[in-house]
Amino acid sequence: MTLHRKHFILGGIAAACWAIAAPAFAQANTGKLKVGLMLPYTGTFAALGVAIENGFRLHVAEQGGKLGGREIEFVKVDDESDPAKATDNVNKLIKRDSVDVLVGTVHSGVAMAMAKAAKDSGTMLIVPNAGADAVTGPMCASHIFRSSFSNWQPGYAMGEVVAKKGHKKVVTITWKYAAGDESVKGFKEAFEKGGGQVVKDLSLPFPNVEFQALLTEIASLKPDAVYTFFAGGGAVKFVKDYAAAGLKKSIPLYGAGFLTDGTLEAQGADADGLLTTLHYGDSLDSAKDKAFRLNYVKAYKLQPDVYAVQGYDAAQMLAIGLNAVKGDITKKPEFAAAVEKARIDSPRGPFTLGKTHNPVQDIYLRQVSGKENKVIGVASKSLADPGRGCRM
Ligand code: PHB
């Protein structure tokens, strides 16, 4: 075959491909934007998934149903907080449904499978809760963003608080998986720097809630204090069991704020007085937070919590990126540049993303008072995750 003829054939093939691709390309900018929501709608984190979706939808509704000029279409998968099903679930959204962007999830183990699939396929991912340090660490990528926190952040902030209170010997208790391990690791890093010592790490498999034997062990170890990470239904039961075991009166309990967020109705008086650290609280009183809370209650007849805020902010981040590329989400570098330089006007207070795409944010010290996580101070100002292992 002559060179001339080869060029002619290749040129013809390219033109034919363009003819096929052109309508799809045009639609990619103006048609509906498919958002793949992968969240838990069953199990111990079910309420968290619902709050994230509610928050996300609230921002979309406030924008008239469109982000970056494009109508939003949701495709939903219940991930059941089950890492064993995570790769299949995320691939349904990427390959079967051809979503434009993934939003998920709550559970760190599931989120790591999502991050891997997002990396392999190049699909945009916004994580609206899961704190897995790796997502904005070794697995970081220019098209992966987090609207929530890293597990390290609230843990580290609480380590400083507990050390400053003068406690010397602490026992930790959590679920044995990435979120629990990393929350405890963050706590330990700051607490030991502050002169304290973690004398024992206790754990049970996720999502078990048979705490009795471990509570008996805490009673016999008699530490100065206990640090814990639990969330959702597990957090409700842990706080109730800790009080019922008589420990609340004798050994102060501290936690990452998920321990008492979205859970206070069910925990009742057993949560009263508990101190936790988190990037949100119920008494911030800023204009942005007041408007958010009012609109959320109006829309859902429910009080918002940290998960609702993270869902709302995931939609805000998507809107910022989409506005910058006029709805063309395939323009990834321009999308990323816009989100990277944004100051996100969150109900938690404004925040920016660090180099690894994790929020740089104030971590509040909160105390449970009645049905509220009252903000009583800032435990750590503009705390940035160290982003260990991220190369972008
Ligand atoms: C997590 O698995 O990363 C996780 C789950 C629930 C929370 C916080 C973190 O409330």
Q: Cα of 25 to ligand 1 centre, how many Å?
A: 37
| CA dist., res. 40 & res. 48, Å (int) | 7
Please report which confidence band the pLDDT of residue 28 belongs to, taking 50, 70 and 90 as the band edges.
low
Strand 70-78 relative to strand 144-146, pairing:
unpaired
Is 258 touching ligand 1 by the criterion CB < 6 Å? yes
Is 196 touching ligand 1 by the criterion CB < 6 Å? no
Is 43 touching ligand 1 by the criterion CB < 6 Å? no
Helix/strand number for the chain, H first, E second = 13, 14
| Mean pLDDT over the full length of the chain | 94
Query: Which residues neighbour 254 within 8 Å (Cβ) at sequence distance 6 or greater?
Result: 158, 161, 162, 225, 226, 227, 228, 274, 275, 276
Coil, strand, or helix at residue 22?
Answer: helix
Which of 33, 40, 235 has the alpha carbon at shortest distance from 128?
A: 40
| CA dist., res. 335 & res. 76, Å (int) | 24
Q: Write out pLDDT tens, residues 333-356.
A: 999 999 999 999 999 999 999 999
The pTM (predicted TM-score) of the whole model is: 0.93
Q: Write out pLDDT tens, residues 157-186.
A: 999 999 999 999 999 999 999 999 999 999
39, 81, 105, 106, best to mutate for ligand 1 pocket (most atoms within 8 Å of CB) = 106
Which of 138, 247, 243 has the alpha carbon at shortest distance from 182?
A: 138
Is 112 touching ligand 1 by the criterion CB < 6 Å? no
Q: Write out pLDDT tens, residues 292-341.
A: 999 999 999 999 999 999 999 999 999 999 999 999 999 999 999 999 99
Is 324 touching ligand 1 by the criterion CB < 6 Å? no
| CA dist., res. 265 & res. 161, Å (int) | 26
Q: Cα of 3 to ligand 1 centre, how many Å?
A: 60
| CA dist., res. 294 & res. 165, Å (int) | 36
Between helix 232-244 and helix 46-62 the angle, nearest 10°, is 130
Q: Compute the chain's Rg from CA coordinates.
A: 23
Q: Which residue has the tokens 């530490």?
A: 223
